Amino acid sequence: MDTEFRNIALVGRQSDARVAEPMRVLADYLTKAGINVTAAEALALDLHVTHVPEEQLCDNANLVIAIGGDGTMLYASRLARISGTPILGVNRGRLGFLADITPDAMIASVDQVLAGRYLKDSRLLLKASLSTAAGDEVVQYGLNDVVVQRRGSGGMVDFSTSVAGRYVNTHSGDGLICATPTGSTAYALSCGGPIIEPQLDAVALVPICPHTLTDRPIVIPASQEIEILLLERDDSRAEITVDGGHIGTLGPGDRLKVAAASQRITLLHPPGHDFYGILRSKLFWGRDSRKRGIETS
């Protein structure tokens, strides 16, 4: 098979039977096609592939195929961030805005990509930098979002935001989401944030359960750095997560800065990929609720 993708890494959650079987099928298909397939050492499936440490999966890979839901795609993006290896997603999750290939179309879609028939999609990545009053610094990268939210079952958190060094607002509520266009259909959407077309270099700042109804989402250029400061209150603390993973706690005197990363994440799609078609499918747009299952023109 004549393809630019001679080395392919497979990523998926083996404990899920819906993922394990497609991984076996795809690994067998690719190896028979003469492609070098790698998987993480921790993958216990009986695959005749090369096993490497997880952190080395993308070192020599030309392509990552992630089988699962959007969580698996986020995991693959962390592995591929430094190498810049493109990612192709097979959806075995529930909603699946990122992994857009159905299991039934998996082999046919992979064949198209291997033959060079695909769409390349460059996605914005965020860099979150937490600087504590004690002088420590934590840096993490997110494809979806950076979230500051109240810790535990306590009261509201009060914090201020600045954009490009300019004061924007002081917020009271459950927290704030800094979402990329990719993440605009994730947590931010459930908090009333806007859906942003993936090709826009923009970030949505979406309050979580704001105490003031006039505290509304705002969209800013991704080139502008965001700074978040927690205001001094008794025992005031906020948890910081990046793509759902905890990176630290924000306290008075700490600073959280969120900016566009220098790297980007590259997704591949088979021909015919349509962002608006995915929105219609996942969010049931264009359907008459009186005629279930029938799309309107």
75-120 residue pLDDT tens: 999 999 999 999 999 998 776 789 889 889 999 999 999 999 999 9
Q: Which of the residues in the chain have pLDDT under 50?
A: 296-297
Domain 7-123+264-283, CATH class in plain words: alpha beta
Q: What is the pLDDT of residue 44?
A: 57
Distant-in-sequence, close-in-space partners of 139: CB < 8 Å, separation ≥ 6: 127, 128, 129, 130
Q: What per-residue confidence (pLDDT) applies to 293?
A: 54
User: Is residue 195 within 8 Å of residue 185, measured between CB atoms?
Assistant: yes
Residue-level pLDDT at 5:
96
Dist CA 232 CA 83 (whole Å) = 41
Domain ranges of the chain: 7-123+264-283, 126-260
* Angle, alpha carbons 138-63-246 (nearest 5°): 20
Distance CA 144, CA 187 (A): 9
What are the pLDDT digits (tens) for 266-289?
999 999 999 999 999 889 898 876
SS3 state at 211 = coil
Q: List, in sequence order, the alpha helices (H) in 33-185.
A: 70-80, 106-114
pTM assigned to the model: 0.92
As its CATH architecture, domain 126-260 has Sandwich (2.60)
List the one residue out of 120, 133, 115 whose CA is nearest residue 255: 133
Active site residue 70: yes
Q: Which of 16, 70, 100, 288 is catalytic?
A: 70
Q: What share of the chain is helix, strand, coil (3-state, %, to 5)?
A: 20, 35, 45
Cα–chain center distance at 31: 29
Q: Are 76 and 11 in contact (CB under 8 A)?
A: yes
Report the distance separating Cα 4 and Cα 138, nearest Å.
37
User: What pLDDT does residue 294 have?
Assistant: 54
